[in-house]
Structure 1
Amino acid sequence: MRLESKAAIQIQKAVEEVFEGIVNPDKMTKYFISESSGRLQTGKDVIWKFPEFDEKFPITEIKIENNREISFVWDPETVVKITLEKLSDNSTLVKVNENGKEFNEDNLKWALENSAGWANFLACMKAYLEYGIQLRKGAFDFMRKT
């Protein structure tokens, strides 16, 4: 049995704008990461940095289907897949699925934490893309090692 982490949200923006909000580091650094070595593109690896962690995270095996799907690996045991669905009111349904870990106690904790993390990613993206609000700014300062 494999564990998976899932989250979904509807964003009141066109699918093209939501897609750009995910693949473009200038936008993603406004709501999710603090640094990126580049745009998400098929076959290209990038490095992400988060404001609350000292580590840098390599993002590999990137596959892009414009305005439909983004997938990548940042944990060698899992694949993240973000799908975009254009809805009849021109809004976008965004679904995140990360799966691949074997079922055990440690990985069950991972699945719960990552589901919350992806829900936070989606809420922060919605706030930024719809209203220009940066919910993540200062939200996780308590996690930084001092």
Structure 2
Amino acid sequence: MSIVIETQMLIRKSANIVFNAFVDPLITTQFWFSQSTGYLEKGKSVQWTWQKYNAVSNVHVLDIQENKLIRIIWGEPKSKVDFVFEKISALETYVTIKNYDIPLEGDALMNFVIDSTGGFTTVLDVAKIHLEHGIHANFVQDKFPPF
């Protein structure tokens, strides 16, 4: 059985603005991770850091289709993640995040599914608030103790 974790959210901004928010670390650090070693580009590897949690993830970009798709491999254990950007209208983009190719079974897989679903849901929620309203909501910073 192949597990695909999926979260989604309508963001009321153009596809190019939403897409750019995920590839440009100057924007992404406003709502997700605290540091990045660079802009996402096909074939490039970067490192994302969450300073509060003393966490680092190596990210390798497998594919980029401007304003449509970002495909990465990341995490521990390594899994693939697709960020899909669907233009609904000039000022609306439907973002779907799919996490798959997860090399786990049993309880470890179940815990991964729970963590990934919650994490990517939080990312989409705070991206929406940041991009639509310019609010720096600190959802990721406030998700886990210590507070």
Name the TM-score, length of structure 1 as normaliser. 0.90
Give the share of equivalent positions with the same residue, in percent: 24
The code of the aligned residue for 1:86 comes to: K
Q: Which residue of 2 aligns with 1:54?
A: 54
Name the TM-score, length of structure 2 as normaliser. 0.90
Q: Which residue of 2 aligns with 1:129?
A: 131
* Alpha-carbon distance change, 111 to 45 in structure 1, aligned in 2, over 3 angstroms: same
Runs of 4+ in 1 over 6 A off after TM superposition: none
Give the superposed CA RMSD: 1.7
Count of matched residue pairs? 144
Q: CA deviation at 1:88?
A: 3.1
* Alpha-carbon distance change, 98 to 141 in structure 1, aligned in 2, over 3 angstroms: closer
Q: Would you say the 8 A contact 2:14–2:89 is kept in 1? A: no
Secondary structure (helix, strand or coil) at the match of 1:116 reads: helix
Secondary structure (helix, strand or coil) at the match of 2:108 reads: helix
Q: Would you say the 8 A contact 1:3–1:108 is kept in 2? A: no
Q: Which residue of 1 aligns with 2:20?
A: 20
Q: Which residue of 2 aligns with 1:71?
A: 71
What runs of 5+ residues in structure 1 fail to find an aligned partner?
none
Q: CA deviation at 1:89?
A: 5.6
Q: Which residue of 1 aligns with 2:107?
A: 105
Q: Does 1:142 align with 2:145?
A: yes
What runs of 5+ residues in structure 2 fail to find an aligned partner?
none
Secondary structure (helix, strand or coil) at the match of 2:39 reads: coil
